[in-house]
Structures are given as structure tokens and as C-alpha cells.
Amino acid sequence: MHDKTRSTLALAALALSAAAPFCHAMDTPSASATQAAAAANARPVLPQALAPGKADAIKADEYRETDLWARIRSGYAIPDVDNKLVGRHAQWYSARPDYLARISGRASLYLYHVVQELEKRGMPTELALLPVIESAFNPQALSTANAAGIWQFVPGTGKDYDLKQNMFKDERRGVLASTDAALTYLQRLYTMFGDWHLALAAYNWGEGNVQRAIKKNQALGKPTDFDSLAELMPAETRNYVPKLQAVKNIVASPNQFGVTLPAIDNQPYFTAVDKTSDIDLAVAAQLAEMSIDEFKALNPQFKKPVITGGEKTKILLPKENAEKFHVNLAGWGKALSSWTTHKITGAKETIASLASKFGTTPEVIRQANNIPDRTRLKAGSTILVPKTSAMAHTDIAENIIDNAVVAFEAERSAKRAKAGTQRFKAKAGVSGAKKRVSRATTSTRKRR
């Protein structure tokens, strides 16, 4: 692909991933299926004997395909499923080429990283297609069970796998942390069940449910493979593995299904840039010479107009934009962040009085803190406010980042105040849910 064409596709994909799940992606023709198949057959398949997590996994630089789809095909290692459900789902996807093109546009930002991480761990590369089923590769996807990101982690499981969820960021949405957590979780499930189909079922339904289904069939003297357990599974899980197989089949032979997959270059799309102090999201995008939507597409975990955190916090940028970022940062000469925090001490602190105190408007404070109209802040809430000159070079403290809580209630002057107060937002990542929902510990499954 020519540099100009790649650049155009990359910018289109960035804009697409920041938009709603059903936005339109650029429809870029792929190489012919014959060429792709020849490339796949010309090199060794990733060995199934390679145990997940081993350090001697095949190195990424051994791959020479120019198209990432071919690289994924060459590492297929999960036994195929062949039943009516697979055919039904393959027909559904192949009948929607625009939908597949939109998914491919979003996936083009993240897919190389996912494939590379799978190969490092010696895991089957078709697992890189799992976000097609989970989220259509939309990092903003959110299920009714509050599962978020391309890998659809619910809050509890996210915490179990060290995905930070606080007022400032939700790592379930960030590609680096969530991919590492998802692959670690899948490895754990594979070790537990010794079977990728059952591991995938457990990823969707919870390992406790799969274990109980296995014990039930064992007690009845029945087999315990995926097909034999399917009748005990909810419909979503029963269709989960067949859906992945359907997508796997389409990627393996797109021409057979009348599908043209937009080409995705087999090279890194982004690079990680260290962040050493607080920086406004808009300033980071400006330094990288990107639009805010383009920047958010690669950094969807950041929830506020300021990016906080210490040395471990990374910003993802396309390579050429990372170079621009460093050059522009060196000549910036101004404060990088214009935001700090303020803790509400009592009812006398209204949004209007805070706006006056910090030299801004109520609308700016409401927007920065996602405060609905006709509500007021409750005492104990920590909110973002513009910095004063005295705090221009002060970063938000780590203990505030980790523990900040925002809570609000209906304004007393409103007629609806009689209904009492309502807590709209709870502590870091709980999002007002009454109880933690986890794939690993509950029979309540995700519903998208």
C-alpha cells in the first residue's frame, strides 16, 4: 500500500473508532484471496504445542506478510467447530459487508498490537478476532451489565485483573492494559479447562457456570466437550463459540463468502509515549497535531479533560505524530495542564459559586465533571476546576486520583426534590451499581 493511501486509511480509521459503533469506515480493497492464501501457506503455522505464556514464542519479526489478516490466518490453532449455528452466523456477517468494513476500520488501530501480544504468549491468533464478537472493536462499547471496552470487562473482573477504574480513567477501555488483562484471563481459563472452546465459554458465561455444567454432565455419564454442554448454556454462550468460528472462517476465505476485507498493514499502528506530568487532553492532541477525536480513538481510557497519573501512564500516538509531539513539547513553554481538583465541603458551595471562585462558568464545570442539569454536588465530592495561577505547575495528587468520588442530588428548588436524593456516580468504577458483576463469580452474564 502506498504511504499516501495508508495515511488516508489511518486517519479515516481513527475518526471512525472515536464515533458511534455504526459509523462508516473507508472501504479499501484487500489483496486477492489467492495471494493471501499463498502467503499463509508459504510460512509455518504457529505451533499448537507452544504453551501459553512461554518465553520462546515465535518472534514477531519472523513474520513477513504485508497484510495483517494473512498473519492472523497463519496462526489459527483452535480446533474448528462445524454446526448449523456457525453457518447461520457466517451468513449473517457476510450479508453485511458495510458492517464488516466498519469493524475493520476500528480494528486497524488495535489489531497489530493484539496479534503481537498473542504471539508473544504462544496463543492462537484467532483470539485476536474475539473483540469482533465482544464489541465490534469499539472501545466505547458498554453492555447493560456495565461491561466496557473492546474486551468487554465488567467492573469486578476488571479489578481482579488490575484494570484501574477511577474518576479520571477506565483502563477497561485502554488497548494496552485491557488486552494484557484479557489474554491473561484467557490463558488462565485455558489452563483451567484444557480446552479453548470451554475457555471461551467461560470468558462469556463465567468459569463457575462452566465448571458446574461439566460436573452435571459427568454425574450423568455424558461427555463434557463444548457441544455436549451447549444445551446447559444460555443462548448467548451457546452462540459465542460459533460466532467466533464464523468470523474465523470469513477471515480465512473472504472470497468464499463474497467479502472483501479492507487491508490492514502488518506493522505497528501506534507507539507509546511516556507522560511525566499532568497534561490537558486537548493540549496533548495539539502537540501531536491530531484532532481530539483522533487522539481519543487511541486513548479512550481517559475520561476527563486532563490526563493524570505518574510515569506508568502512557499516551498512544501514531509514530509520525509521536515525533511531532516530542518536537512540539520541547518548544511548548507553557503549562501543560489547566485543571486541578476541589473537594466540596458543604451545601454553601454551589456550582455557580464555584464557577465564580475559579473564574469560569457553571457550564464548564458541569461539562468537565459530567454533572446533569438541575442537580447539585453533595458534600465530600471531588471535582475538576480550573487552576489558579498559584497552582499552575502543581499536579493532582495520586491519592486524589485513586479515591476521588463525585456524587450529586436533585436541586432542592426543583419540584422533584421530594423524591429524595439520588447518588448518580459512585466511587471509582462502580458507576452506581448495587453489586459487583463478574464473569468469574456470578451467573448473571453480559447482555449487549
Total Cβ atoms within 10 A of residue 15: 17
Measured between alpha carbons, how far is 112 from 30 in angstroms, rounded to an integer?
Answer: 16
Contacts of 267 (CB under 8 A, 6+ apart): 112
Amino acid identity, residue 221?
G
**β-pair type (270-274, 279-280):** unpaired
Around Cβ 281, how many Cβ atoms within 10 Å? 20
CA atoms within 13 A on the CB side of 439: 28
Which of the following is catalytic: 134, 171, 207, 349?
Answer: 134
- Please, are residues 136 and 130 in contact by the beta-carbon 8 Å criterion? no
CB contact at 8 A, 268 and 275: no
- Cα separation, 396 vs 101, whole angstroms: 41
* Alpha carbon distance 355, 442 (integer Å): 44
Asked if 416 and 373 count as a contact pair (C-beta separation under 8 A), the reply is no
Sign of CA dihedral 22, 25, 29, 33: negative
Residue 139 · residue 150 · CB < 8 Å: yes
Task: Report d(CA 159, CA 46) in Å as an integer.
Answer: 32
Instruction: Produce one character per residue of 68-106: b if its CB has 16 or more CB atoms within 10 Å, e if not.
Output: bbbbbbbbbbbeebeeebbeebbeebbeebeebbbbbbb
Q: Is 207 among the residues known to form the active site?
A: no
The SS3 assignment for 148 reads: strand
Of the candidates 2, 301, 358, the one whose C-alpha atom is nearest the C-alpha of residue 176 is: 301
Distance CA 57, CA 413 (A): 64
Which H or E element spans position 343?
strand 339-343
Catalytic residue set: 134
